A and B are shown apart, each in its own frame.
Chain A
Amino acid sequence: MNLNTGKQVLTISNLCATVAGKDILKGVDLEIRAGEVHAIMGPNGSGKSTLAQVLAGREDYEVTAGSVSFDGVDMLALRPEERARAGFFLGFQYPVEIPGVNNAYLLKAALNAKRKAANLPEVDAYEFLALIKAKMKFMQMDESFLSRGVNEGFSGGEKKRNEILQMLILEPKLAVLDETDSGLDIDALKVVAAGVNSLRGGEHAIILITHYQRLLDYIEPDRVHVFAGGRIQKSGDKSLALELEDRGYDWVRGDRVA
Chain B
Amino acid sequence: MNEPANKAATSAALRSFEASWRARPADGLAAMRGEAMQRFLALGLPTPRDESWRYTNLRAMAAMSFIDAPRIANGAVTAAPGESWIAGAGMSAIRILNGYPQLGAGADSGLAHVAVRSLRAVAESEPKVIAERHTAAAESEEGRWTLLNRALFVDGLHLRITGRVAGPILIVHAANCPDGSHAVHSRLIVETGPGAAATIIEHHLGAGGGTLLANRATEIDLAPGASIEHYRVFSGDERTTQFDSVDVRHGADSRCRQFTVVLGGALVRTDLRAHLGGIGAQHDSYALLAGRGARQIDCVNTIVHAAPRTTSNQTARAIGAGSSRVVFNSKVIVERGAAGAQSQQSSRGLLLSPNAELDTRPQLQIHEDDVKCAHGATTGRLDPDMLFYLLSRGIERSAAQSLLIYAFLDDVLTGIASMPTRRAIEDALVEELPDADLLRSFR
Residues of A whose CB lies within 8 Å of any CB of B are 56-59, 79-81, 83-85, 89-90, 92, 95-96, 98-102, 105-110, 113-114, 117, 149-150, 166, 170
Contacts and interface: CB of A to CB of B under 8 A. Distances in A.
B392 A84 contact: yes
Contacts of B407: 98-101, 149
Given A110-B393, A166-B393, 18 more contacts: A57-B392, A81-B396, A81-B400, A84-B394, A92-B392, A96-B383, A98-B389, A98-B407, A100-B406, A100-B410, A100-B411, A101-B390, A101-B404, A101-B406, A110-B395, A114-B394, A149-B407, A150-B389
A106 B408 contact: no
B385 A106 contact: no
A81 B395 contact: yes
A83 to B, nearest CB: 8
A96 B389 CA distance: 7
Nearest to A86: B394
Contacts of B390: 98, 101, 106
B406 A81 contact: no
Contact of B395 (A99, A100, A109): A109
B393 A98 contact: no
Contacts of A113: 393-396
Interface string B379-415: 0000101101111111111011001101111110000
Given A95-B389, A96-B383, A105-B441, A110 B408 contact: no
Contact of B442 (A59, A89, A102): A102
Given A101-B407, A105-B441, A109-B442, A96 B386 contact: yes
B438 interface: yes
Contacts of A101: 390, 403-404, 406-407, 442
B394 A110 contact: yes
Given A99-B407, A100-B407, A79 B441 contact: no
12 contacts: A57-B392, A79-B391, A81-B395, A96-B386, A98-B407, A101-B442, A105-B441, A106-B393, A106-B395, A106-B403, A109-B393, A170-B394
A56 B406 CA distance: 25
A42 B410 CA distance: 41
B162 to A, nearest CB: 39
A149 B386 CA distance: 12
Given A99-B410, A100-B410, A81 B391 contact: yes
Interface residues of B, number: 26
Contacts of B441: 105, 108-109
A100 B394 contact: no
A106 B393 CA distance: 8
A242 to B, nearest CB: 33
B410 A85 contact: no
Nearest to B407: A100
A58 B391 CA distance: 10
A59 B389 CA distance: 12
A31 B409 CA distance: 44
A101 B439 CA distance: 10
Interface in B343-399: 383, 385-386, 388-397, 399
A84 B400 CA distance: 14
A202 B84 CA distance: 57
A71 to B, nearest CB: 15
A149 B407 CA distance: 9
Contacts of B411: 100
Contacts of B406: 100-101
Contacts of A102: 442
Nearest to A117: B394
B430 to A, nearest CB: 14
B392 A80 contact: yes
A80 B394 CA distance: 7
A44 B399 CA distance: 35
Interface string B213-237: 0000000000000000000000000
A170 B394 CA distance: 10
A100 B411 CA distance: 8
Nearest to B385: A96
B388 A58 contact: yes
A175 to B, nearest CB: 12
B410 A56 contact: no
B404 A98 contact: yes
B391 A80 contact: yes
Contacts of B397: 79, 81
A170 B392 CA distance: 12
A101 B404 CA distance: 7
A59 B387 CA distance: 11
Given A109-B395, A110-B393, A80 B442 contact: no
Contact of B388 (A80, A85, A117, A150): A80
Nearest to A111: B394
Contacts of B393: 81, 84, 106-107, 109-110, 113, 166, 170
A58 B394 CA distance: 13
A58 B403 CA distance: 19
B389 A92 contact: yes
Contacts of B386: 96, 98
B12 to A, nearest CB: 46
A8 to B, nearest CB: 23
B385 A85 contact: no
B410 A84 contact: no
A26 B135 CA distance: 71
Contacts of B399: 109
A218 B34 CA distance: 85
B415 to A, nearest CB: 12
B408 A100 contact: yes
The 5 closest A-B pairs by CB, nearest first: A100-B407, A100-B410, A84-B394, A110-B393, A80-B391
A111 to B, nearest CB: 8
Contacts of B391: 57, 79-81, 84
A96 B403 CA distance: 15
A56 B386 CA distance: 14
B442 A85 contact: no
Contacts of B438: 109
Contacts of B388: 56, 58-59, 80
Contacts of B395: 81, 106, 109-110, 113
Interface string B186-211: 00000000000000000000000000
